[in-house]
Every structure is written in structure tokens, then in C-alpha cells.
Structure 1
């Protein structure tokens, strides 16, 4: 599905050039659940911005399903991003004034669906994360774990090819973290969702089928995991 070939990324300022990704070679197959681990400043965020089609200023080649998207226009790229990748963030990134239903519905509306076409999809997504009964609530009426479930439903709504979960349990207690990780594992095993999980928490690694360790902008380990 994804091939990164000799990727290098630099940040340039007037004083210096920072080499933030160093000769990254990475292959992601459909249905994998991969942990990307590394300390703060290791290049994890830069790597996921690149994987999620947010950052396109790099050297090397990014092939998605065999096609290079580097020459795509910004409009085409944002359409591909909206249809191809779902994002789950540490801070949930929900719109406080919108209901749970409206938060989950939003990516469909961006994708050109009319309001009359969205109900079945939204309710299916909420059912999948166990929150069909919370559709009319607002985020502040929910627990942290429930808010993260809403964020996962929103990430799934366009049936993306892969999910990027960036520290998805970082703001949650241990018990709630386990619930969220078990939900992600179910999505991976039962629905075949491809998940790239970015974390600095070693306790999340055993939930995954592969571990990629990154340090100082380079992949220092890439191994299969038994789970």
C-alpha cells in the first residue's frame, strides 16, 4: 500500500539546515497494525505528516498503491487525504459546539455528501465504537474515552485506506487506554483496518503486529511482533 523510498527531509533556516528524516525506507502492507515509537524530537511527527499527505516537501519517493502523488495539485491531494487517511489525535480535536453526530458527519459533508445521505453511515460508525446512544450529546458531556471513540468514528467515516493514530491514549487513564487500544485492535483484526500508531508508550506496542523504532530521524529497528 505504502512505499517510502530513500526519504530525506530537511528544515532550513537562515543559520542552519536540520536533517530531520534520514534515508527512510518503509513498506506498509494492507491490514498491518504498526507501532511507530521514538523519543520526543525523533522525527515521528514529521514522518506521519508525510505519510498522511500533509507534508510534501521532501527528497525521495512516496508511492501510494504504486502511484507517486507528488505531482498532484493541492486540491487533488487534499481530496485524496480526505478519502484515504483517517486521523486520530491525542486531544480528540472535536468541535465543541457540534453534537457527536455532527462531528462524525463532517468529513462526509467535505466529501460532497448531502445531509440526506449521511445518516446511515454516521450511525453505523457510532455503533462500531459503541456510542450510537450518544449521537445527540456534545463532546463536553462525554468522558475522555468516549470523546476518543467519537474521534475514531469520525476517522473511519470515509472508509479510509489507513488510520494514523497519533498518541491516541496520551490524554487517557490506564483503563480507558486499554479500551481504546482494544477497539483499535478489533478494527484491525475484524475489519482489516490498516493502522499506524504513533506512541512513546512501550505498553501500547504489544497491541501491534510490527514495531518501527525511530531515533534522530532514522529507522533503527523494524521488526514483526507476535500478539
Structure 2
């Protein structure tokens, strides 16, 4: 599904050039549950911005489903990002004044679905993550784990090709973290969702089938895991 070939990323300033991604070669197959691990400042966030079509200013080749997107316009790349990738963040990023249903519905409306066309799809993903009964609630009425389930449903609602989960349990207690990781594992195994998990927490690694370790912008380990 994804292949990076000799990818380098620099941040330029008037005084210096900072080399933040260094000669990265990486392939990710459909259906994988991959962990990207590394300390703060290792380049994890920059790498997922590249993988998620947010950052297009890099050297090297990015092939998505066999096609290079390097010459794509910003508008096309934005459209591909909205349709192909779902994002789950540590901070949930829910709209407090919208109900659970409305938060999950929003990406469908951005993709020009009409309100009347969205109910079945929203209900389907809310049921998939176990919170259909919370559809009329507001985020502040939910626990942290329930809010993260809303965020996961929102990421899934457009049926993306892959999910990027950036420290998705960072704001949760250990018990709730386990519930969220079990949900991710279920989505991966039963639904076939391709998932890229970004973390510095080694306790999350056993849920994954493969681990990439990045340090100082370079991949220093690529290891298959026994799950």
C-alpha cells in the first residue's frame, strides 16, 4: 500500500538546514498493524505527516498503491488525504458543542454527503466501536475512553485505506488504554483496517505485528513481532 524510497526531509532557515528525516526506506502492506516507536524529537511526527499526505516537501519517492503523488496539486492531495487516511490523536480533538453523532458525521459532510445520507454510516461506525447508545451525548458527558472511541469512529467513517493513531492512549489510564488497544486490534484483525500506531510506550507494542524504531530521523530497526 505504502512505499517510501530514499526519503529525506529538511527544515530550512536563514542560518541552517536541519536534516529531520534521513534516507528512510519503508513499506507498509495492506492489513498491517505497524508501530512506529522512538523518543521525543526522533522524527516520528514528521514521518507521519509525510505518510498522511500533510507534508509534501521532501526529497525521495512516496508511492501510494503504486502511484507517486509528488506532482499532485494541493487540492488533489487534500482530497486523497480526506478519503484515504483517518487520524486519531492523543487529545481526541472533538467539537464540544456537537453531539457524538455530529462529530462523527462531520467528515462525511466535508465529503459532500447530505445530512439525510449519513445516518446509516454514522450509526454503523458508532456500533462498531461500541458507543451507538452515546450518539446523542456531548463529549463532556463521556469518559476519556468513550471520547477516544468517538474519535476512532470519526476516523473510520469515510472508510479510509489506513489509520494513523498518534499516541492514542497518551491521555488515558492504563485500563482504558487496554480497552482502546483491544479495539484497534479487533478493527485490524476482523475489519482488516491497516493501522499505523505512533508511540513511545513499549506496553502498546505487543498489540502490533511489526515495529519500526526511529531515532534522529533514521529507521534503526524494522522488526516483525509475534502476536
Q: TM-score, normalised by structure 1?
A: 1.00
Structure 2 unaligned spans of 5+: none
Distance in 1 between residues matched to 2:23 and 2:61, nearest whole Å: 11
Partners of 2:216 and 2:225 lie apart in 1 by 23
List per-residue Cα deviations over 1:61-115 (Å, max 9, x = no partner): 0000000111111111111000000000000010111100000000001111000
Q: Using the alignment, how far apart are the partners of 2:38 and 2:53 within structure 1? A: 21
Q: Is the aligned partner of 1:193 residue 2:170?
A: no
Alpha-carbon distance between aligned partners in 2 of 1:88 and 1:207, rounded to the nearest angstrom: 17
Aligned residues: 227
Note if 1:69 corresponds to 2:69: yes
CA deviations 1:145-170 (Å, max 9, x no partner) are 00000000000000000000000000
Which residue in the other structure is 1:211 paired with? 211
SS across alignment from 1:72: coil
Mapped partners of 1:29, 1:74: distance in 2? 25
Aligned residue number for residue 125 of structure 2:
125
Which structure 2 residues correspond to residues 66-105 of structure 1 after superposition, within 5 A?
A: 66-105=66-105
For structure 1, which runs of at least 5 residues remain unmatched after alignment?
A: none
Counterpart for residue 160 of structure 1: 160
Aligned equivalents of 2:58, 2:85: Cα separation in 1: 19
Structure 1 residue 192, shift from structure 2 partner? 0.5
Alignment of 1:1-227 (within 5 A): 1-227=1-227
Structure 1 residue 14 displacement after superposition: 1.0
